[in-house]
Structure 1
Amino acid sequence: MFQQGLVNPHELVSKHLNRTVKFGIYLPKNYTSLYKHHVIITFDGQDFSQLGQLHRCYEKLYAADEIERAIIIYVHYPDVQTRKREYHPDSPDKQHMIKFITNELMPYIDQNFATLKTGNARLVMGDSLAASISLSLVLSYPLNFSRALLLSPMITATINEELAIANTSNIDLYHVIGLEESSFKLMTGEEADFLTPNQAFHDQLISLGVTTYYEELDGGHTWKTWKPQLELVLKYFLSK
């Protein structure tokens, strides 16, 4: 049913989201049920697949014997409005997305593929609002999902409050922000400053002793800035 070396389109009917969720499942070329695999879940899956070419980064590093086995799940959003409603840090509907991942998607993946079923073998990734939902997922369920790539997340007071009450002892974050992100236009046309809140959030992480890699990159809120990080991220979390 699922082909190796390809992004296999799939979908689940979600009770939590009250809609059908479309996603892609990438099984590496060498996939075999004889070995347990790490699981990478990406929000904004279309971007990570098409713009980031994450699975190609994985195959390159695995062929060089640099990283552990993993499968990649590309979670797609149906439209911009739904993405904002389900990903925004201050939206109550984000809890439905978190429950979809924990109660519906992850059990499906674990039942159908050979996976490592520990929090430190599950890596969630996101860019912008997708990074925010990745962060909220890890802060909410750190024993189930303890690793996250945060590409320029939107940080609000809600995120800071979640961090303040979270059990952060197992969390490991790879967190980057562009130096040009002090002022840029959102899809709504509004101006936004992502840089300053991210800097303050990093300071809070350090004060709490959270394991984190942090870097301020030359560039803005675009995949041109983010894409070169993907190989580094895979090495950071999956190196042998």
Structure 2
Amino acid sequence: MSDDMFKRGLVTPFEIESTALARTVKLGIYLPDSYSALKEHAVIIAFDGQDFSQLGQLHRQYEELNDQLTASIIIFVHYPDIETRSQEYHPDSPHKTKMIAFVTSELEDFVATHFRVSDKRLLMGDSLAASIALSLSLNDERFNEAALFSPMITAAITQELAALKHPVKYVQLVGKEEKAFKLMSGATADFLTPNRAFHAALTARGIEHEYRELAGGHTWRTWKPEIASILLYFLGE
């Protein structure tokens, strides 16, 4: 293991050449000030990494709770453009399997090579990034915990849940104003109703999860205040 190139207390930019995605993947690697190769760390993987680092300030919120949390590192996974994000994250896209393969194989190999980590993985995502986090958790038992900020839920997700054979654990959040969110395409989408239905399906299956409907819409103003409680829920000691 070699972590010398990554600074403690900062997000270090890093790139991986991905065979699965046939492109360069830009990452942000956060090691807490207390990081030590002498002890194992959990791994938080945040899709839409730019937003989680800049808008959600995930690493800063982790720092504030550091003494209450399981020691962790954070991997911010950035997307290059809106079109690629949709292709790799959308629950109905055939390309999402390539993103899943990248995380479960290539990113895992990178993490295991460079850092002292435990088996604990926590996925995070907002909107479509929450959808890929959810699909990943439903398809691979090693990545079975996820914080879902207003995921797009489609029939593909429902089918993956129906086929689920391993335990999972979620925090699922959605804004009460998300009945008609305007997409980047100009169309509108109802995030609230499908999220309510997915929550009901999780409850019917007896799956451990917290579900909250928040005052607000499909924005980081709604999601950011929830990050601290999410970290404590999954990583609190």
Check whether TM > 0.5.
yes
Q: CA deviation at 1:184?
A: 1.6
Amino acid at match of 1:87: Y
Amino acid at match of 2:213: E
1:88 to 76, 87, 90: 90
Aligned pairs for 1:49-198 within 5 A: 49-62=53-66, 65-116=67-118, 118=119, 121-142=120-141, 144-168=142-166, 170-198=167-195
Separation of aligned partners in 2, 1:146 and 1:158: 18
Separation of aligned partners in 1, 2:27 and 2:232: 24
1:27 to 12, 25, 31: 31
Q: Residues 163-185 of structure 1, C-alpha deviation per residue, up to 9 Å, x if partnerless?
A: 000124x2100100000001120
Separation of aligned partners in 2, 1:113 and 1:184: 40
Q: Residues 179-227 of structure 1, C-alpha deviation per residue, up to 9 Å, x if partnerless?
A: 0001120001101100000000100001111110100000000000000
Q: 4+ residue stretches of structure 1 with deviation over 4 A?
A: none
Q: Residues 28-77 of structure 1, C-alpha deviation per residue, up to 9 Å, x if partnerless?
A: 01111011000000000000000000000001001xx2111000000000
Q: Which runs of 5+ in 1 are unaligned?
A: none
How does the TM-score come out when normalised to structure 2? 0.97
Matched, 1:213 2:215: no
Q: CA deviation at 1:106?
A: 1.1
Separation of aligned partners in 2, 1:160 and 1:184: 21
Amino acid at match of 2:217: G
Separation of aligned partners in 2, 1:69 and 1:132: 26
Separation of aligned partners in 2, 1:11 and 1:36: 23
Q: CA deviation at 1:24?
A: 0.5
Separation of aligned partners in 1, 2:32 and 2:125: 21
- CA RMSD, 1 decimal: 0.6
Q: How many residues align?
A: 233
Q: Which runs of 5+ in 2 are unaligned?
A: none
Partner of 2:173, secondary structure, is strand
Partner of 1:237, secondary structure, is helix
